Amino acid sequence: MNALFSIVFLLATLLLLFLSPESFLPTLLQGATKSATLCFSLISTYAVWLGLMNVWKDSGVTRVVSRSMQPLAKKLFKTSDPETLDAVCMNMSVNLLGISGAATPYGIKAANLLDKADSAEYSSSMLFVINATSIQLIPTSIIGVRTALHSVAPADIILPTLITTVFSTLLAVALVRLLIPPKPREIQPITATKKVLTRGAGI
Amino acid sequence: MNYVFALTVPLLFLGSFIFALVKKVSLYDSFTEGVKGAIPLVVSIFPYIASVTMLSLLLDVSGMESKLVGWLTPAFSFFGVPAEIAPLLFVKPLSGSGAIAVLSDILTKYGVDSYIARCACVAYGSSETIFYIGAVYFAGLKRKKMTLALAIAVFSYLASVVLCCFLCRFM
């Protein structure tokens, strides 16, 4: 992002220098004004959804969703370690429910646990693509922005979004299974102990 | 179809609140506790939104954007993707809040309910900040071969953009 910002900012400013240098500052100020308006409408969107999401958290909906994912996660990540499965499932369900920011701690925990697991390359890649292709059920911030800009049907993007996001996740999962196959069973115990040993030495 | 979606949100709230009451959650306390997070969250993303909005307007005013769109149109139209959403497609894998600034810019420029705007919304909603996630989740680990996983994620993202622009034609 740093590179993109620097290059585009410098190029655009250089161009403006020749075209209309007087419009430089007004453009920046207008941008800041627009972003303030946008943030204002985001506050209302988040107020509504973060409220609901906290109710989900407190009433255990997140746990229920997470538990229902255990069988799927067992197959996807080729692991049966309960702690890893729990972190992975919490990460996926929080992503699914769109609880912003909450997915990251579980994701990092899951990434660290999977790194120690058997066939770590396969399962870490799986965790990464599932997170990187997004599986959010309700795109709350987009509906918020669309509503703020007086769309006639702010929610009509839900279905295509859902289809697209499911497609990209399935495609990525299939590609990982195809291109990064999990290691065969018999060499697992050896690699596992080796990893534990090197980890211990590191600490 | 629209009526079904109009029902989804109230039913979701109703269902969640009844479930919470059954589970003996103090609903008001829990809901307000969640709402409390809204302002800090927006405050934390404001710098990114503001900077990227400035950049996005600068791109527009300097005429760079129309040139970029002109160059990319042949390649993009081959895949059925409107080149007008190109800035969004570049920013989204890097920064989520930056992308929402670009998205809102596209929505005001081409009209919220236009084809281009709907493509942009679906592309935004169905993707994630691939590079950011890669950096945050796997920074602490010993360098595993994540390049292949990264390539898979980027490929799936591009494929999903093509699909979403196709879907938006008739949905």
Q: Which residue of B has its CA nearest to A23?
A: B61
Check residue B120 and give its pLDDT: 94
Cβ within 8 Å of A, B 119-138: 121-128, 130, 133-134, 136-138
Please calculate the CA angle A174-A91-B87 and round it to the nearest 5 degrees. 70
Query: Does any CB of chain A come closer than 8 Å to the CB of residue B7?
Result: no
CA distance A106 to A114: 12
pLDDT in tens, A152-176: 888 888 889 999 999 999 999 999 9
Ranges of chain B whose pLDDT falls below 50 = none
Written as one string, the DSSP assignment of A123-141 is HHHHHHHHHHT---SS-HH
| ipTM topping 0.90 | no
Across A192-196, average pLDDT: 44
Residue B123 C-alpha, separation from nearest chain A C-alpha, in angstroms: 7
Residue A80 C-alpha, separation from nearest chain B C-alpha, in angstroms: 21
Split at pLDDT 50, 70, 90, the class of A195 is very low
Across A57-84, average pLDDT: 87
pLDDT in tens, B10-59: 888 999 999 999 999 999 999 999 899 889 888 888 998 899 889 988 88
Give the contacts of A112 (CB within 8 A, at least 6 positions apart): B140, B141
Interface contact A30-B57, CB threshold 8 A: yes
The domain segmentation of chain A, as residue ranges, is: 57-197
Check residue A120 and give its pLDDT: 80
**Percentage of residues in chain A having pLDDT higher than 70:** 89
